Amino acid sequence: MILCNIKPTYIYFYAFYRIILLFLRIIYLDLLHKYESEIKDMKTKLTLICVLLILTTTVGFAQKDKDQTIINQNVSIAKYHDKEELQQFNKGKLLELYIERIEVIVKVLPNIAFTNKPGVTIEALGIPNTKDHRKALEDNIKAANDYFENTIEFQTKILPYSDKSNLIAAILYYEQTLKSLHTYNEFNRF
């Protein structure tokens, strides 16, 4: 059996499953020799145990389609800051704030034509929940995550060389842009 393309957690579950089956077989053979007269009852019970074990492992491996949201609920700004507050932070803290704001911009702003609220699914917007639409949404989320990771990799290497005042100005600009998301619904009355 080739297990090259199977995730490690599945290999562990498969190994555990095989060990349980071996254990049950040993018990079965032991009981077969000891209680030949009651063999029919034991076969039924053992078969029932095996079926239950297989059902529980099948349920454990079953993948449930969880509705993906257009905007992830974990992407948000914890707090907005003013210039005086930002000037008191060291450059490391400013870099964290800058990266947090970039994440929101990358993962939220491109999707505001659909919604500006986290947790909304395509089905909630009236978009048919087809395989193609789910795949398109997954591809979009993956592309945004990849872009964000690449941007952050670059930013963490280069941003430490930027001036603190430029970081503060960028954070304030991004925050002002993100604050406008709260007033987006006022423009969406047409």
Give pLDDT, residue 1: 44
Give pLDDT, residue 148: 92
Domain ranges of the chain: 8-61, 83-187
Give pLDDT, residue 160: 86
- For residues 146 and 34, what is the distance between their CA atoms, to the nearest angstrom? 61
Query: Is the dihedral angle over the CA atoms 84, 85, 90, 96 positive or is it negative?
Result: negative
- Residue 71 backbone zone (phi > 0: left; psi -120 to 50: alpha; other: beta): beta
- For residues 107 and 116, what is the distance between their CA atoms, to the nearest angstrom? 11
Q: Are 13 and 62 in contact (CB under 8 A)?
A: no
Question: What residues in the chain have per-residue pLDDT under 50?
Answer: 1-3, 64
Q: Where is 145: in which H helix or E strand? A: helix 131-158
This prediction has a pTM of 0.61
- For residues 187 and 190, what is the distance between their CA atoms, to the nearest angstrom? 8
Q: Which single residue is written with the structure tokens 């990771």? A: 149
